[in-house]
Amino acid sequence: MTRAEILETTRQVIYNSVPELEGTELNEDTVINTDAAIDSMGFTLVICRLEAKFDIRIPNRQWQRLRTLGDVVDAIETRLPK
Protein backbone atom coordinates (compact mmCIF):
# COMPACT_ATOMS: atom_id res chain seq x y z
CA MET A 1 0.00 0.00 0.00
CA THR A 2 1.38 3.40 -0.92
CA ARG A 3 1.69 6.30 1.51
CA ALA A 4 -0.96 8.20 -0.43
CA GLU A 5 -3.37 5.29 -0.05
CA ILE A 6 -2.70 5.11 3.68
CA LEU A 7 -3.35 8.84 3.97
CA GLU A 8 -6.60 8.59 2.03
CA THR A 9 -7.85 5.67 4.15
CA THR A 10 -6.88 7.56 7.30
CA ARG A 11 -8.83 10.60 6.10
CA GLN A 12 -11.92 8.47 5.48
CA VAL A 13 -11.67 6.89 8.93
CA ILE A 14 -11.45 10.35 10.49
CA TYR A 15 -14.45 11.62 8.51
CA ASN A 16 -16.47 8.56 9.55
CA SER A 17 -15.42 8.82 13.18
CA VAL A 18 -15.82 12.58 13.50
CA PRO A 19 -18.60 13.42 11.03
CA GLU A 20 -18.45 17.14 11.84
CA LEU A 21 -15.08 17.22 10.04
CA GLU A 22 -16.65 16.19 6.73
CA GLY A 23 -15.58 18.78 4.16
CA THR A 24 -12.54 19.92 6.17
CA GLU A 25 -9.28 19.54 4.33
CA LEU A 26 -6.98 17.08 6.07
CA ASN A 27 -3.39 16.71 4.91
CA GLU A 28 -0.18 15.34 6.39
CA ASP A 29 0.54 18.63 8.17
CA THR A 30 -2.85 18.83 9.84
CA VAL A 31 -2.36 18.98 13.60
CA ILE A 32 -4.91 16.53 14.93
CA ASN A 33 -5.64 18.29 18.20
CA THR A 34 -5.96 21.83 16.93
CA ASP A 35 -6.51 22.02 13.17
CA ALA A 36 -8.83 19.04 13.14
CA ALA A 37 -10.17 19.75 16.64
CA ILE A 38 -10.27 16.09 17.57
CA ASP A 39 -10.31 15.66 21.34
CA SER A 40 -8.45 12.87 23.12
CA MET A 41 -11.47 10.55 23.14
CA GLY A 42 -12.13 11.16 19.47
CA PHE A 43 -8.48 10.49 18.78
CA THR A 44 -8.70 7.18 20.64
CA LEU A 45 -11.66 6.20 18.48
CA VAL A 46 -9.81 7.13 15.29
CA ILE A 47 -6.69 5.18 16.25
CA CYS A 48 -8.69 2.10 17.23
CA ARG A 49 -10.54 2.17 13.92
CA LEU A 50 -7.29 2.62 12.03
CA GLU A 51 -5.76 -0.33 13.88
CA ALA A 52 -8.73 -2.47 12.89
CA LYS A 53 -8.71 -1.21 9.32
CA PHE A 54 -4.99 -1.88 8.78
CA ASP A 55 -4.81 -4.88 11.11
CA ILE A 56 -1.96 -3.36 13.10
CA ARG A 57 -1.41 -2.34 16.70
CA ILE A 58 0.10 0.98 17.72
CA PRO A 59 1.22 0.75 21.37
CA ASN A 60 -0.78 3.07 23.66
CA ARG A 61 2.28 4.92 24.84
CA GLN A 62 3.09 5.87 21.23
CA TRP A 63 -0.27 7.62 20.87
CA GLN A 64 0.89 10.78 22.61
CA ARG A 65 3.57 11.23 19.98
CA LEU A 66 1.14 11.30 17.08
CA ARG A 67 0.70 15.01 16.61
CA THR A 68 -0.03 15.44 12.92
CA LEU A 69 -1.81 13.31 10.39
CA GLY A 70 1.62 12.66 8.87
CA ASP A 71 2.75 11.17 12.20
CA VAL A 72 -0.26 8.84 12.11
CA VAL A 73 0.53 7.78 8.55
CA ASP A 74 4.16 7.14 9.61
CA ALA A 75 3.00 4.98 12.50
CA ILE A 76 0.80 2.92 10.18
CA GLU A 77 3.34 2.68 7.39
CA THR A 78 6.09 1.34 9.63
CA ARG A 79 3.77 -1.38 10.94
CA LEU A 80 2.43 -2.63 7.63
CA PRO A 81 4.08 -5.71 6.16
CA LYS A 82 6.61 -4.71 3.51
Partner 1 sequence: MTRYTGFSHLLASQAAAQPHAPAILYEKAGAKSLMTRRELLFAAQKRAAELCGKRAIFVLCDGSLENVVTVFGAVLAGVRVILADAGAQEDTLCALLEYTRADCLYCEDEELAEILTPHLDPGAPGGAGELLFFTSGTTDRNKAVVLTDASLCASAWNGSALLPLQQEDTLMCMLPLCHVFGFVCSLLWPLVCGAAVALGRGPRHYGDDCAFFEPTALSAVPLLAGFLIKHRCLNPALRLVLIGAGDCPPQLISALEAQGIFVSFGYGLTETSSGVALSLGEDKYAMTVCPEADITLAQDGEILIKAPTCMMQGYWQRPEDTAAAVTEGTLHTGDLGRWDEKGLLHITGRKKELLVLSDGTKLFLPEYEPPIRAALGTEEAAVIVRDGAPVLVIKDCGRTKAEILAALGPLMARESRARQIKDVITVAENLPRTATGKIQRWAIQQKVSAL
Cα 20 off chain centre by: 16
CB 38, min distance to partner 1, A = 9
CB 76, min distance to partner 1, A = 16
Q: Of the candidates 15, 24, 35, 56, which one interacts with partner 1 according to CB under 8 A?
A: 35
- Tell whether residue 4 is a contact of partner 1 (CB under 8 A): no
CB 2, min distance to partner 1, A = 27
Q: E strands, the chain, where?
A: none
Backbone dihedral angles phi then psi of residue 47, each to the nearest 5 degrees: -60, -45
Nearest-CA neighbor of 12 among 1, 2, 22? 22
Q: Of the candidates 31, 53, 74, 77, which one interacts with partner 1 according to CB under 8 A?
A: 31
